[in-house]
Chain A
Amino acid sequence: MSMSLASKNKSTIIRQKSVLLHAIRTWFWENGYLEVQTPILVPSPAMEEHLEALPCRERWLHTSPEFAMKRLLTMGMCRIYQIVPCFRDEEVGVHHSREFSMLEWYRVGIGTADLMNETEALLQTCADALGVSLPTIQRIRTSELLDPKLSPEDWLFTWVDQIEPRLPRGAIVFDYPQWASALSRIRGQYADRFELYIDGIELANAFYEEREAQEVRHRWEKNNNARIEAGKNPHPIDHHFLDAVDRLPRCSGIALGLDRLLMVLLNVSAISHTQLELEEDSHDA
């Protein structure tokens, strides 16, 4: 587990990534999930104030397969998952890459508590496949860590500055302030969503999904207005998705960064080391 990067060459990582993918696909198959492939070129990217999508002709490279997968749920699919590259502009760092692999799955009829159990089970399967151990995962309400009455700006700054670096090695953080609801349902005072952290790295983000078109439209318009105020272009509204939201069954969904998962499991220090930079390699050839 403590093997350094220097002793771990690209071909080892490629092999281990393949083992990981096989374990994930087997787990989903055995748990009754269908693997789906939705288009990567989409008419509208994620409607969030702080997500920048890469435009491509008259379309966008998706920032996640969220909208398309939820539409599949309205067509009667009950358990679906997808492993797919996603694209987010302006995100580059040791834990960020403009292009990265996402594992996203949805299940009809379960809430976030069940999804937490499922996520932990899958994580254990991944660790077993690679022969590594996982830290104990503690479940913590955000209100135990931070005052929910803080302004969104102060809350997020304190989260990044103080809370995230001091989380337990394994943590599922849940019940977020309402302003952070994104497309999760508000339950009582909180947004019904959770995030998975290992070694301080945000690995996954889960929602109990909002199912009221009016509410979704309201949030999107708010996000678009905030974008306009910040001098950015508003995103086009995905009307197909909006039309389908009211037919969405009760369900929960989660998006997990696969490159980051590999980083954590293999103890690799930068996301770029889990990806194949063939372009750079070919300069030497």
Chain B
Amino acid sequence: MKYQTSQFRNGLKVEVDGNPYVMTYFQFVKPGKGTAFTRTKLKNMLTGAVIERTYRTGETLQAAEVENTTMEFLYKEGEAYNFMDMETYEQVAIQESTIEAESKYLTENLQVEVLYYKNRPVSITLPNFIEAEISFCEPGIKGNTATGGNKPAKLSCGASVQVPLFVEQGEWIRVDTRTNEYVSRVKK
């Protein structure tokens, strides 16, 4: 399937130079001096890198064979992270090298979006917030419940975040996966 420049729109998933891209911007440009063009911004669905490309009217872009599937994280076995499709109960193993940045937030039963490109899982998108238990941090300072500095904390899922001094080991916290920042404590 191919897209004409007149079919360009935001969110279109296309293949450029053998990589899947999502269109994040398009603009029809017709100089008074000649033919029409469409300027685009394309975001690489694997790396997140953004490129700018201009297309002549009549040029086409190949649709990218990509698909997003909601899946639940099951367990880690060696270097492989195992996920299950919640509709088909099909399981898939994704190597740690593919999801290096995200793997540290994976907790059991966490739902993520798995991106398939040409029928192969190529990346995952985490929820913006996850909840995890603090597996280790230095003890809190008595009386300091509101202000003060931060201290490092290790989470059960593997991530490390800065938490306020009053937070204790064994407590559950909410973390923003986009910024790797502590948000709040969670009652469990």
Do these two chains interact? yes
Residues in A lying within 8 Å of B, measured CB to CB: 49-50, 90-96, 152, 156-157, 159-161, 164-165, 176, 180, 182, 195, 202, 205
In Å, the complex CA distance between A152 and B33 comes to 10
In Å, the complex CA distance between A95 and B26 comes to 12
Q: Mark B15-51, 1 if CB is under 8 A from A, else 0.
A: 0000000000001111111111101000000000000
The answer on a CB contact under 8 Å between A91 and B33 is no
The answer on a CB contact under 8 Å between A205 and B32 is yes
Out of B28, B35, B54, which one reaches A96, CB within 8 Å? B28
B120 at the A interface (CB under 8 A):
no
The answer on a CB contact under 8 Å between A91 and B36 is yes
Query: In whole Å, how far is B66's beta carbon from the nearest beta carbon of chain A?
Result: 26
The answer on a CB contact under 8 Å between B36 and A50 is yes
The answer on a CB contact under 8 Å between B28 and A93 is yes
Query: In whole Å, how far is B6's beta carbon from the nearest beta carbon of chain A?
Result: 9
How many CB-defined contacts (below 8 Å) exist between A and B?
A: 49
Query: Which residues of A sit under 8 angstroms from B36, Cβ to Cβ?
Result: 50, 90-91
Out of A49, A90, A94, A160, which one reaches B31, CB within 8 Å? A160
Answer whether A96 and B30 are a contact pair too, CB < 8 Å, given A157-B56, A160-B39, A160-B54: yes
Residues in B lying within 8 Å of A, measured CB to CB: 27-37, 39, 54, 56
Answer whether A180 and B34 are a contact pair too, CB < 8 Å, given A157-B56, A160-B54: yes
Out of A90, A152, A202, which one reaches B32, CB within 8 Å? A202
The answer on a CB contact under 8 Å between A93 and B27 is yes
The 5 listed contacts between A and B (C-beta, < 8 Å) are: A94-B28, A156-B31, A156-B33, A156-B34, A160-B54
In Å, the complex CA distance between A199 and B32 comes to 17
Query: Which residues of B sit under 8 angstroms from A94, Cβ to Cβ?
Result: 27-28
In Å, the complex CA distance between A95 and B35 comes to 15
The answer on a CB contact under 8 Å between B28 and A160 is no
The answer on a CB contact under 8 Å between B28 and A152 is no
The answer on a CB contact under 8 Å between B30 and A157 is no
Answer whether A157 and B54 are a contact pair too, CB < 8 Å, given A50-B36, A91-B36: yes
Query: Which residues of A sit under 8 angstroms from B28, Cβ to Cβ?
Result: 91-96
The answer on a CB contact under 8 Å between B27 and A160 is no
Query: Which residues of B sit under 8 angstroms from A95, Cβ to Cβ?
Result: 27-29
In Å, the complex CA distance between A49 and B36 comes to 12
Chain B: which residue is nearest A204 at the CB level? B32
The answer on a CB contact under 8 Å between A180 and B39 is no
Query: Which residues of A sit under 8 angstroms from B31, Cβ to Cβ?
Result: 156, 159-160, 164, 202
The answer on a CB contact under 8 Å between B54 and A161 is yes
